[in-house]
Structures are given as structure tokens and as C-alpha cells.
Amino acid sequence: MHKNIPQLLTLLNDENFHSGSDLGEKLNLTRSAVWKLIKQLEKLGIEVEVKTKLGYKITHNLEFLDARKIGQYFTVPHKQYLDKIIIFDELPSTNSYLIELAKNDPNYKECICLAESQTAGRGRLGRQWFSPYAKNILLSLLWRFSKEPNELGGLSLAVAIAVIESLERYGIKQDIKLKWPNDVLWQQHKLAGILVEISGENRHAYNTVIGIGLNLNMPKTHSQNIGQPFCDVAEISNATPERNKLTGLLIDQLLTTMEVFQKGSLQPFIEKWRELDVSYGQQVTIITPQEKISGIGRGIDGKGHFLLEDKLGKLHTFVAGEVSLEKNDMIMDF
Ligand code: BTN
């Protein structure tokens, strides 16, 4: 991203038109250099209105991330984490950043990394995670768990519950659901994704990076970058999402989840998972590299493994796989 883009966006972010020469003067650039920057904004996913005589205007105003505003939504015990927030305009991936940080200083404790955009955002199963500039939440938390990695297997499921709880605290009443292992869905469209990575052991504590991508404003024009049905908070709530508020509530809820998980692992979350599980009691199919099997979803076990009851009533346990819901004889892939 060009170094002048954050400043250009700050200038444009006031609901007014700005002429090319005015912007050029403030940025110390020629009008044609300003025009080139405007073209780059479109590549970042920011819609710009252009009018002869008037100049340029951002179609939808942006709410930039602000640590002070985010911290207002932390409950008192979590205020201490305020100075652990790092915000980037752009970086390859917030997860990769924290993995590197923990590698370089294995004693590093908690850190929260946020970005307005990522150039190499990573999803599960080697997929990419796309997000336009300053529109959604791209968050990673570094946490040290004194637990064995096999006990951390269910962590991403607990995190998925935290995402829904933070949306509830924000005021979203709609039926947001979970699809194993950790997709957050609304009406079968993906709202958020979670990528947990364990990055090395130091004195029996494991550096764990929890990455969350939560869609707040994801225009449908980005469908070609995403490759699966998706939705955003703007669509669900029918209002402009308050980005700093949602980020603050999400971090606060995530910190609570970390504390509960440290003490009780996945056990305290299993009942809540069952309530939110889109496939619980439903006809589903799970595909693994070895097999494809259909049956009734029966929730998760204490390790977060998926349970499926086949037509003979036998219970199968899955450590990995892609679950799809069957409705009216159609398989719905999310
Ligand atoms: C998924 O595929 O469902 C998981 C997506 C996780 C994306 C988030 S965005 C913040 C963090 N940084 C990354 O590179 N990935 C995660």
C-alpha cells in the first residue's frame, strides 16, 4: 500500500467532496499522482465517487480502528490489556505477525494485533482470507497456555462461541449459528472465521495465536475474492456497524473465554456449543480424506471432535472433515 494512502483516507473521510488540486496540495503531490492513489483505493475495496468540478468523495465513511475507543468496551478486569493492543494499517497477516513475535521472544505474554488490511490474510485449510481496507475486523490474540497441545484442540470452538457472545452483547438478536469446527454463520452464510495456531513451547507453556476475521461491511461486489456464501454485520443488523465498539466487545469476550478455557478446557462450553450448533439433530454429511458419511449431527465430545450418528444408531467421532447440512435432499455446502 502506498505510504500516502492512510493520510488520503483521513482527508477524504468527512462526507465531503475534495478536489484533486486540494488533495494534492495537502499531500504534496501532483493531481495525476492523487488520481493514481484514488485508483489504488478502489483496489483496496474502497468505493470512491468522482464528480467533475467537485472531485472525490468516499461513498461510505470509514471508522478507523482506535485503541482508546476499543478499550472503552473492556470490562474492568481487562483494562490492563489496553496497552497490549497494536494496530497496523497494513501487514501480511496478524496471525503471522504474532507467531513471529512469540518466536523472537518466547517469554512474550499476551498481545492483541489488529490491522486495517492484510496482504496475505490466511484462512483454514490453506485458504486466503480477503478483507477490504478498514471495513471488517482482522484480529489476532497471542496467549500462553500451560496445557498440552492436544488439550488445545477444542480452543477454536470456544472462540467461535465468544464471537457469537460478543455479537449478542453488541445487540444482535438474530439467530447466528456455528458450523463445526468453527465457522460462524447467519442463514448459512459465513459471518466470521477462526484460525488457531500453536507456535512453540517454552517452559511447558504454549504460544497460541487465535486469529478471527469478522465481516462487518463486506460488499457483495467482493464475491469473486471470497468463493463461498458470506454475509456481514451491516446486513444482519440493517445498520452501519460500530467498528471500534464491536472490536472492543470481541476482545473483551475473547479474554474471558481464554480465562475460562485455561481453567476448564472445553468442558464449560459444550452445552452452549450444542445450543448454537447448526447441525445438531440435523441430517448432515461429513467428508474426510478417507470417507464420506451421512447421519445425524450429535454435537461435540469433550475434545471438540464432531459426533455423528449413522442410520444404524452407531456414533462416529471425527477429528477433521467438512460438514454439510442436508435439507430437502439437497446438500448445502457453506
Ligand atoms: C477461516 O478460514 O475460516 C479462518 C479465517 C481466519 C482469518 C483471520 S483474519 C485475522 C487473522 N490473520 C490471518 O491471517 N488470519 C486470521
Query: pLDDT by residue (tens digit) across 62-84?
Result: 999 999 999 999 999 999 999 99
CA of 182, closest atom in ligand 1: 3
Fold classification of 278-331 is: SH3 type barrels. (2.30.30)
Alpha-carbon distance of 229 to 185, in angstroms, equals: 10
Mean pLDDT of the chain: 91
pLDDT of 329 reads: 44
Ligand 1 proximity of 117 Cβ (cutoff 6 Å): no
Tell me the C-alpha to C-alpha distance, in Å, between residue 298 and each of 54, 89, 282, 283, 304: 60, 43, 8, 10, 12
pLDDT of 331 reads: 47
Ligand 1 proximity of 124 Cβ (cutoff 6 Å): yes
CA of 131, closest atom in ligand 1: 9
User: Which of the four pLDDT bands, split at 50, 70 and 90, describes residue 203?
Assistant: low
Ligand 1 proximity of 182 Cβ (cutoff 6 Å): no
Quote the percentage of the chain above a pLDDT of 90. Answer: 74
Ligand 1 proximity of 194 Cβ (cutoff 6 Å): yes
Fold classification of 5-58 is: Arc Repressor Mutant, subunit A (1.10.10)
Between 3.30.930.10, 3.30.1280.10, 1.10.10.10, 3.40.630.30, what CATH number should domain 67-275 receive?
A: 3.30.930.10
Domain extent listing, the chain:
5-58, 67-275, 278-331
Residue 225 has pLDDT above 80, yes or no: no
Bond preceding residue 132 cis, omega within 30 of 0: no
CA of 127, closest atom in ligand 1: 2
pLDDT of 282 reads: 94
Residues 263-290 have a mean pLDDT of: 94
Range scoring the smallest mean pLDDT among 131-140, 216-225, 229-238, 312-321: 216-225
pTM of the model as a whole:
0.91
Residues 30-37 have a mean pLDDT of: 93
Q: Which residue has the higher pLDDT, 164 or 330?
A: 164
Q: How far is the CA of 232 from the centre of ligand 1 (A)?
A: 15
- Opening angle at CA 96, ends 93 and 98, nearest 5: 110
